Amino acid sequence: MTVNLLDFDAKALTDFCAGLGERPFRARQLLRWIHRRGKADFAVMSDLAQAFRAKLAARAVIEPPPLIDSHLAADGTRKWLLSVGAGNGIETVYIPEAGRGTLCVSSQVGCALACTFCSTGRQGFNRNLTVAEIVGQLWWANRALAQVHEGHAAMELEERPGGQKKERASQASAAKARDRAVTNVVMMGMGEPLANFENVVTALDLMLDDDAYGLSRRRVTVSTSGLVPAMDRLRERCPVALAVSLHAPNDGLRSELVPINRKYPLSELMAACRRYLQSAPRDFITFEYVMLEGINDSPEHARELIQLVRDTPCKFNLIPFNPFPGSGYRRSSAEAVRVFRDVLMQAELMTTVRRTRGDDIAAACGQLAGRVRDKTRRAERNTLEAVG
Ligand code: SAH
Ligand code: SF4
């Protein structure tokens, strides 16, 4: 049976190599070829013996999810659409900022938690992503960015059977200067990462491994809607930075917006956050708060929040709601967001307002679903037509 080496963390790769009669340092070399150098072809792995490469080629592949499409926005934000089979696509978004490059990674196709303001939640749950599909997002992004860096602004990404390549690179040269490899990962794409625990943690191990992506624990953030038992497991197994999607200051409103609150109410969630901080790489939790006009955005709500978090070291990230067809919600006005932020800041709560990025390529939070399926179908139709 052929295995996909992108599914393996360092330990699994070491075991696999041992099964082929190879010593552990060979697994380390392989790890570097696959993840650090972004290679999918054993033939180019020049420091591995011919015989070992032949054994690998007979038993294994390095197979990221196929790339269907890629976009570059005027502000330098990049987006890749990857196929995960059965007409489904996932998107991964790269956001360049001064001194860092952040990749927003998906963990599931759809999501079962059904938050009312989230287009992924409205789709329902389809399936968990595999380790290869999670890590594959980082693999593609680093590879594409390296190529941009090398001056291939036209993005000559490997053509795959059934794949399309397209890059709206009108401002490629301006963006080129800003691009670099991924330095930060946020698990804030589609899906609830802690509901796909084992695969996400294996992917995190690879993100942190010096021979793979070598990211610092502080620069990898898991965002959760508040699965309390899984937050405890993450703390024990792989404590990375944690963001918690709060969105409401009391149980009544939160249970409406984030239905998992009925199972894990705010008192339990706050206690879990404080436990997490005992092992976290940062000394605060980031609370995400999507600003919904007339729903959760009054100064009263802000004051209630101050009370809620008074024993929990935290920072707030206010997210302007990104509308999608039929959502039934509106984005809070800039003035309402400013007043809300000021109330929190006056209580000495560090608060940032998330800038909406990649508007022209629909790359914002909560916009990554919906049109994905249509687009994937369209891409498949095109492929079928092309194949004849
Ligand atoms: N499931 C995880 C991570 C993915 S969502 C979670 O819920 O935390 C990443 C962030 O985007 C969450 O804070 C989520 O609440 C927010 N989000 C979802 N839909 C949104 C929308 N339409 N506009 C703005 N933010 C949204
Ligand atoms: Fe799932 Fe997060 Fe969307 Fe809620 S906000 S439905 S947990 S992806």
Pick from 109, 116, 225, 296 the residue to mutate for probing ligand 2's pocket: most ligand atoms within 8 Å of its CB: 225
Least confident of 39-43, 100-104, 151-155, 277-281: 151-155
- 160 vs 126, higher pLDDT: 126
159 given a catalytic annotation? no
Starting at the edge strand found earlier in the chain, the sheet holding 220-224 runs 67-72, 78-83, 89-97, 100-104, 184-187, 220-224, 241-245, 285-291, 314-320, 350-353
Q: Taking a C-beta distance cutoff of 8 angstroms, is the pair 94, 102 a contact?
A: yes
**Average pLDDT of the segment spanning 90-95:** 93
365 given a catalytic annotation? yes
The CA distance from 274 to 112, in Å, is 26
The alpha carbon of 259 and the centre of ligand 2 are apart by a number of angstroms equal to 10
Structure tokens at 135: 């890590």
Residue 365's pLDDT is: 53
For ligand 1, atom 3: residue with the closest CA:
188
**Average pLDDT of the segment spanning 271-285:** 97
Structure tokens at 290: 């999507």
pTM of the predicted structure, to 2 decimals: 0.89
- CB under 6 Å to ligand 1: residues? 115, 117-119, 188, 192, 223-225, 245, 288, 290, 319, 321-322, 365-366
Residue 159's pLDDT is: 43
Q: Taking a C-beta distance cutoff of 8 angstroms, is the pair 308, 249 a contact?
A: yes
**Domain extents in the chain:** 3-61, 67-387
The CA distance from 330 to 283, in Å, is 33
Model confidence at 361, in pLDDT bands (50, 70, 90)? low
Candidates 162, 73, 140, 82; CA nearest to 359 is: 73
- Active-site entry in 22, 91, 133, 167: 91
Architecture of the domain whose range is 3-61: Orthogonal Bundle (1.10)
**Average pLDDT of the segment spanning 348-372:** 69
The alpha carbon of 363 and the centre of ligand 1 are apart by a number of angstroms equal to 13
pLDDT tens-digit readout, 48-59: 999 999 999 999
Could you say which ligand is closest to the alpha carbon of residue 323? 1
Residue 1's pLDDT is: 81
CATH fourth-level superfamily of 67-387: Aldolase class I (3.20.20.70)
